[in-house]
Structure 1
Amino acid sequence: MLQTRLLDIAVREFGAKGIDGASTRGIAAAAGTAMSSITYHYGGKEGLYLAAADHIAAQMAREMDGSLDVQHEFASNDPIAARKHIHHLLSTLADKMAADATGDWSLFIMREQLAPSKAFDRIYAGVMGQMLEMLANLVCIASGSRDPRAARIMTLTLFGQVMILRGSRAACLKLLDRDAIEPDDLTDIKARLRVNTDAMIDRLTADERGTQ
């Protein structure tokens, strides 16, 4: 579909060059459409940029499809089930961050992380924000913590362990002495994620019991 191709190219160009460096004329030409198509559908470069952000949010939702369905854990308030889903969520995210397919929109997101605009608000309003809120809630259930701020701080550290696979890809490959993250590497990384996650949840549980 032409609009999907146009948005895919826009994400790639904006991610690589930023909104100021990317050319809407070049984006239109690469997509095989006229410049007037961008003006008609999106109003111009800023409109296309926001549409690219919405496109990324939709892609992220498809990539994480099913991973955010944890109604049972919230309804039952089950610490074991909550911990299990935290592991599943982080493992799924690690798979996505290690995959080359996420490269184009990851560059776009990293630019927005450094200099947030309305585009970041649109991305965060989608699966990114939902996932972080869910992780924080699951941490509370898994640890028995009644301190939402402590759970959110832990969520940042859990999330950061996975995001390094994309945000610091070059450093990861240098340290592992690899040209690409191999399946065995990813298996070991996810095993370490589980160990780290359990240790942090156990520590928060102990802290909670110590305050009672």
Structure 2
Amino acid sequence: MSEATREKLIDAGIRLFGEQGYEATTTRRIAEAAGANIGSIAYHFGNKHGLYLAAARHIAGELRQRLGLADATDRGVPESREAAREALRGIARRMVRTFAEEDECRHWLLMVVREQVRPGEAFEILQAEAFGIVQARLAALIARLTGQAADDRRVILETHTLVGQIVFFLIAREPLLRRLGLRAFDAATLADIEAVVEAHLEGYTPRR
């Protein structure tokens, strides 16, 4: 029961912090949305700020899990270019499914966007425990395919562009659905999105 309450508070916090912003979101409103006693926030997180940071850690952990990068820092880079390309395809597919298909990601979006606009302590958690890990893994694989260093400026920009392409299916979900005449992404559309993204990966070739 205690763990279930904690999870409900985090879920309610993510939604309300995203919709209303940190300052406008009260602990009373979070407790009401979670169906919990207001004292449970102090019990589990200390205060509203503690809940906010816990919400950021929750998002970061869920992203790592969904993208299969929970232990990414312990992985080496495949020696062969084809193995590296296949590893990159696998991450790209998981990113497409995560950002285009999973409803929970839409609940995270507003809070994450707020932290992007005005980076604070929660952004540092997201960067260290999710964004940075994703960027590092993708950069290592792209570097293997292009024959450049993972910290090369071009590789960093290629990585950022790839992430942006896929995340845009979440950020601009509604305009795309309307353009396609859909109410939600169906299996065929998701497969087409994956194919489009994977076609872009073929452009990663050795550079001088």
Partner of 1:135: 138
Q: What do residues 77-99 of structure 1 show as CA deviations (whole Å, max 9, x unaligned)?
A: 32111111111111110000012
**Structure 1 residue 160, shift from structure 2 partner:** 1.0
Distance 1:70 1:97, change over 3 A: same
Note if contact 1:10-1:27 (Cα within 8 Å) is conserved in structure 2: yes
| Aligned counterpart for 2:96 among listed residues 82, 94, 97 | 94
Q: Aligned partners of 2:171 and 2:61: how far apart in 1?
A: 20
Partner of 1:113: 116
Q: Which sits farther off after the overlay, 168-177 or 8-17?
A: 168-177
Partner of 1:52: 55
Q: Aligned partners of 2:145 and 2:85: how far apart in 1?
A: 5
Note if contact 1:67-1:89 (Cα within 8 Å) is conserved in structure 2: no
| Aligned counterpart for 2:33 among listed residues 30, 35, 47 | 30
Distance 1:66 1:145, change over 3 A: closer
Partner of 2:158: 154
Partner of 2:175: 171
Q: Aligned partners of 1:10 and 1:19: how far apart in 2?
A: 9
Q: Aligned partners of 1:24 and 1:181: how far apart in 2?
A: 35
Q: Which 5+ residue runs of structure 2 have no aligned equivalent?
A: none
Q: Percent identity of the aligned residues?
A: 32
Note if contact 2:69-2:133 (Cα within 8 Å) is conserved in structure 1: no
Note if contact 1:73-1:82 (Cα within 8 Å) is conserved in structure 2: no
**Structure 1 residue 71, shift from structure 2 partner:** 6.5
Q: Aligned partners of 1:162 and 1:67: how far apart in 2?
A: 20
Note if contact 2:69-2:134 (Cα within 8 Å) is conserved in structure 1: no
3-state SS in 2 of match to 1:19 = coil
Q: In the TM superposition, what are the counterparts of 1:57-76 in structure 2 within 5 Å?
A: 57-65=60-68, 69=72, 74=77, 76=78
Q: What do residues 8-63 of structure 1 show as CA deviations (whole Å, max 9, x unaligned)?
A: 11111111211122221011122232222223432322222111111211222222
How many equivalent pairs are there? 203
Note if contact 1:79-1:142 (Cα within 8 Å) is conserved in structure 2: yes
Amino acid at match of 1:86: L
Q: Aligned partners of 2:43 and 2:69: how far apart in 1?
A: 35
Distance 1:72 1:41, change over 3 A: closer
**Structure 1 residue 195, shift from structure 2 partner:** 0.9
Decide which structure has greater helix share: 1
Q: Aligned partners of 2:202 and 2:54: how far apart in 1?
A: 39
Q: Aligned partners of 2:8 and 2:75: how far apart in 1?
A: 38
Q: What do residues 141-169 of structure 1 show as CA deviations (whole Å, max 9, x unaligned)?
A: 11112471111110011111100111111
Q: Which 5+ residue runs of structure 1 have no aligned equivalent?
A: none
Q: Aligned partners of 1:130 and 1:81: how far apart in 2?
A: 20
**Structure 1 residue 68, shift from structure 2 partner:** 6.0
Say what the alpha-carbon RMSD is for the aligned residues: 2.0
